[in-house]
Amino acid sequence: MKNSRDPDFPDSFNWGQFLPALAIDCVIFGYSEDGLKILILGYKNTSFFSLPGGFIRKKEAIDDAAKRILEERTGLNDIYLNQFYAFGNLERSDPEPMKMIMENNGFTPSNDHWLLQRFVSLGYFALVNYKRVKPRPGFLSDSCRWYGIHELPELIFDHAKMVEQALKILRRDVYSKRIGKNLLFEMFTMGELQKLYESILDEKLHRTGFHRKMMRSGLLKRLGKKKTGGAHRSPYLYSFRSDKPKHTIS
């Protein structure tokens, strides 16, 4: 198996610097008024789409690798990260899509090319502020853009399962971790927070019940000021208390 530098690739594709057989894939969630979104890569000269992913350097912690991969695609480096599952069955290792991607872009990889080996992939999900992200395609991808959670294109490998699993865990933890802190701006109204929750949980929530539940949870603090310029009554602004550590893995 070719384990050294691939002469036609940029330097970051010097495969020998990475742990073999182990990859990272990221489900990057963002939120705007029209709902929850995921950042998806589209590959050049093909109709393949995938989650942003990458590899782990030989002297790099896996969490640091995930952070680096996220920064490469979003430009952000203070990101809420959650490692949620390791995907490693045999069916997921289908070399065909990657082979076709390489061939359609001028490479003719041998069957034992490093990129075509079997990978076990560590799934991370990230919560980022949609507006702060500058999506950046990678070397073989020519698009990197947001897709609504219900309008995802077909994804290669088992990436659809990864999205499903990440969503499941996001929904499980939405009331116990300060999910909103990472998807909204610093200050927000209760209505904005409720719309976020409805988008994550994919269901309508009762306004008053939600209001009290969030206040009772103790995660929020109400700021004295009110928002100006709204169409009707000025709502209070809220923010998350910063008692707990900012980045919580697991």
Q: How far is the CB of 224 from DNA (least distance, A)?
A: 11
Rounded least distance, CB 44 to a copy of itself, Å:
30
212 Cβ contact list (under 8 Å, min separation 6): none
Reference 191, options 130, 132, 236; nearest CA is 236
Q: Which is nearer to a copy of itself, 119 or 146 (CB)?
A: 119
Residue 216 touches which member of DNA, a copy of itself, none, C-beta under 5-8 Å by kind? DNA
Instruction: Tell which positions 146-185 bind a copy of itself, by CB under 8 A.
Output: 165
Residues in the chain: 250
Window 77-116: contact mask with a copy of itself (x via CB under 8 A)? ------x-xx-xxx--------------------------
Stretch that binds a copy of itself, among 34-42, 56-64, 142-150, 152-160 (CB under 8 A): 56-64
Cβ–Cβ under 8 Å, residues 138 and 73: yes
Q: Of 132 and 206, which CB lies nearer to DNA in the complex structure? A: 206
Span interacting with DNA, options 23-31, 44-52, 119-127, 206-214, rule CB under 7 A: 206-214
State which residue, 58 or 221, has the beta carbon closest to a copy of itself: 58
**Assigned token pair, 93:** 């290792």
Using DSSP bridges, classify how beta strands 18-32 and 120-127 pair: parallel, antiparallel or unpaired.
parallel
Contacts of 5 (CB under 8 A, 6+ apart): 11, 13, 14, 15, 16
Looking at the DSSP bridge assignments, the partners of residue 24 are: 54, 122
Interface with DNA in residues 229-248 (CB under 7 A): 229-236
CA distance 191 to 149: 21
58 and 17 in contact (C-beta within 8 Å)? yes
Alpha-carbon Rg of the chain, whole angstroms?
A: 20
Instruction: Please report whether residue 22 would count as binding a copy of itself according to CB under 8 A.
Output: yes
Tokens 């045999």 -> residue: 90
Helix (H) or strand (E) holding 221, with range, is: strand 220-226
Instruction: DSSP letter for 57, please.
Output: E
- One residue of 61, 139, 151, 206 binding a copy of itself per CB under 8 A: 61
Q: Which among DNA, a copy of itself, none contacts residue 22 (Cβ within 5 to 8 A by kind)?
A: a copy of itself
Interface ranges with a copy of itself (CB under 8 A): 19-22, 56, 58-63, 83, 85-86, 88-90, 118, 120, 122, 165, 250
